[in-house]
Structure 1
């Protein structure tokens, strides 16, 4: 198998704290954050046992692609990307809700709808919809940001009532999220894709709202192909999609949804390679660029490359600051 990063434990200079997320390893300096995008993959809020080669690099590059192209809507946390797997940025105080914007009835929303629910996070859903149908207008379905375990659906009213986010700030967040979704929809259409749904995370830096983490990547978004959407929908067939939903479907088909007592099915080399191929396909579709796998690159060499690139960046920045 190709090189893949499951975990990191770098000793970058002046690191004050290390933190491991679901798929990213974070290194906190006094005035900035080093985020290493590993090749871990999670689904149903569970980290799967095998890493996917090139996944971290792909997600990092796609996130940067969109963060650069949405900075006119809202500032974001990014300062630099010294390595394909690494982003360095501002340390922001995270706002403890994820803002999920949905333009179509898919994924979690469809599973809730199919179960008979017609209210999702306080938002009413019309009768008569089918899986993957467009919604009348994009809706926002927030979730609480859990440190571990499953995130939970929550309504706008409950967020404000509990004091999780002050009302004026939350109104600003929703307005910005809809503008981001509109921009993402436009950019997807230019690449023959439909942005079905996505999630945004926000934080505050010096009191100003910032977009943090990733944006419009296949880990945080779902995409359909524009040119086949109507025909497949008319025929009642599954949509061809490029997102992490295919991983969730594979897990569901093999008896796993992250529930207590369930075990993650065996990830064979074929499964890992298929997931990698789909991530590469999305990257090329989204950006027009390609990544050529390097079979000679070892995991050890990959780790050394990241460490060297980050250390060179920090050394340069230190020289510039003195």
Structure 2
């Protein structure tokens, strides 16, 4: 068996590539490691800069303060509910729309595609959108959290390309000859063959729904319906206001206590970041094997 010997230029190029990837890896990993370490370290060591990578003076006060509030658990349940429901609704809209647009026999398909694409560049604006949601009676309801952003045009385009590349018309014709209706064709043939893109779309919509707080800020007034991100935002805002008010009325003898409180507030911020992102980090590895395949097939045709 003959082996191909690498030239000197090849070795230099490979060394450059590995060095570049290592640098990128460090740039990506350092903030993540720092946030995790800061969230469980002594607040004074973090604020003084003595903790710069690994945890020092293990301290879980930030997590204790967060989870002492029952609203956190209510927010978690609300966010899980909004995310699951939102993903199901988004997939129920995106997949049929994309499949219909991918079929050449759709009358006016190009026109509909142009209208879809038009909304990517021009929208009605915030005020008209709010008035629409209000007139539909969705203000302060679950619908306000899952319906306004139920479908993303870019995701429809990606799915459309996936169906064009993956589902050949010969397969469709064979199923129809065997007596398969259009609806049965979609659910029995197309959907089982489209699991990679479905997983990718579920991840895209799920992450967007999980991180969304803007709709809650605009449309929700009942705190019992707040998602997790909205509650965490309130904690941060109230903490900032509390520290500012304390700073204006503090005496010199309480300066040290004030500094400790500020340090604890900073630690709480790091803990909030971990609490709000951990579920998505846990879910991603289970969908990773579909991610690259689904995106590549859905983004490139030919």
TM range (shorter): under 0.3
Task: Please identify which structure carries the higher helix content.
Answer: 2
**Structure with the greater alpha carbon radius of gyration:** 2
Task: Please identify which structure carries the higher strand content.
Answer: 1
Higher relative contact order (CA 8 A, sep 6+): 2
> Structure 2-normalised TM-score?
0.26
